[in-house]
C-alpha cells in the first residue's frame, strides 16, 4: 500500500470543496456547543492547513496549531502571515516519539484526526492535563464506517467511532458533561467507488 504523503498533499489540500465544507460545518457545530470567547487560548490538534482554525480564530484570543506534517504547518503559518494574525502559532508534533503537548489551554479542538491516533485514551488524557480547570474539548470525527471511507488506509487506526464507546473513553480520561451531536455529512465515493454519505459527529466535554 502506498504511504500517504501529507507534506506533498498540503499545497493542494484546500482545493477540495469536501474539506472546506467539512471545516465550515464543524466550525458551526463548535460554535453551537462551545462557549467561545476573546479570552480563550485554543489548541487545534491535527490542525492541517488551518481550515478549522481560521474559522474559529475571530472568536478567541489565540490558536496554537499542532500537526505531524511540516508541509501542512507551512501552509498554516503562511495563512497566518497573509492575515497578519500574530495570535497564531504552530509546532510540529511527532506522536511516535511521544512528544508532550504544551499548555495550558482554555479549549482544545480536533477535526478528523482522532482516527489516525492509535491510543485514543492516552491522547485524551494528555488533553485533560493541558486544559485549564473548566476548559472544554471538542472532537469531530467519523461515525463507524466499516473501513469504507479511506481509499488509502495507511495511518488509519479506527474506522470511525461508536459514540457511546468513545464517550466512555472521554469519561475515563476525566472529562464530564460529555455530549455528542451530528456535525456534518460527507458525500463521496467509498473505497469501492460507490457514492455514499458518511456522518461526522462532534463530541464535547469539560475538565
- Average pLDDT rounded to a whole number, residues 126-144: 96
pTM of the predicted structure, to 2 decimals: 0.91
Please tell me the number of Cα atoms within 13 Å of 134 on its side-chain side. 3
Domain boundaries along the sequence of the chain:
6-206
The angle that helices 120-130 and 163-172 make with each other, rounded to 10 degrees, is: 50
Is residue 5 scored above 70 in pLDDT?
no
User: What are the distances in angstroms from CA 95 to CA 4, 63, 102, 162, 178?
Assistant: 16, 20, 13, 23, 25
Kindly list the distances between the CA atom of residue 81 and the CA atoms of 13, 75, 88, 181, 191, in Å, as whole numbers in the listed order: 18, 10, 9, 34, 37
Quick: pLDDT tens for 140-163.
Answer: 999 999 889 987 778 889 999 999
Give the tens place of pLDDT for each residue, 166-188.
999 999 999 999 999 999 999 99
Residue 191: pLDDT above 90?
no
The CATH number for 6-206, chosen from 3.40.50.150, 3.40.50.1000, 3.30.230.70, 3.20.20.100, is 3.40.50.150
Residues 59-85 have a mean pLDDT of 94
**Is 203's pLDDT higher than 90?**
yes
pLDDT tens digit sequence for 75-99: 999 999 999 999 999 999 876 555 6
pLDDT at 186: 93
Amino acid at each position: 500500500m502506498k504511504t500517504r504523503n501529507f507534506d506533498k498533499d498540503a499545497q493542494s489540500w484546500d482545493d477540495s470543496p469536501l474539506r472546506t465544507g467539512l471545516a465550515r460545518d464543524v466550525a458551526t457545530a463548535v460554535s453551537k456547543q462551545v462557549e467561545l470567547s476573546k479570552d480563550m487560548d485554543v489548541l487545534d490538534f491535527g490542525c492541517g492547513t488551518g481550515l478549522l482554525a481560521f474559522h474559529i480564530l475571530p472568536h478567541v484570543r489565540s490558536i496554537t496549531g499542532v500537526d505531524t506534517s511540516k508541509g501542512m504547518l507551512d501552509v498554516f503559518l503562511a495563512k497566518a502571515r497573509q492575515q497578519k494574525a500574530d495570535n497564531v502559532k504552530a509546532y510540529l508534533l511527532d506522536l511516535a516519539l511521544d512528544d508532550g503537548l504544551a499548555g495550558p489551554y482554555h479549549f482544545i479542538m480536533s477535526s478528523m484526526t482522532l482516527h489516525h491516533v492509535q491510543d485514543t485514551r492516552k491522547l485524551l488524557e494528555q488533553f485533560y492535563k493541558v486544559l485549564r480547570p473548566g476548559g472544554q474539548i471538542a472532537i469531530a470525527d467519523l461515525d463507524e464506517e466499516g473501513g469504507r471511507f479511506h481509499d488509502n488506509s495507511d495511518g488509519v487506526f479506527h474506522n470511525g467511532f461508536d459514540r457511546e464507546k468513545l464517550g466512555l473513553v472521554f469519561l475515563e480520561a476525566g472529562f464530564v458533561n460529555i455530549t455528542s451531536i451530528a456535525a456534518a455529512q460527507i458525500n463521496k465515493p467509498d473505497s469501492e467507488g460507490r457514492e455514499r454519505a458518511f456522518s461526522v459527529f462532534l463530541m464535547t466535554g469539560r475538565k
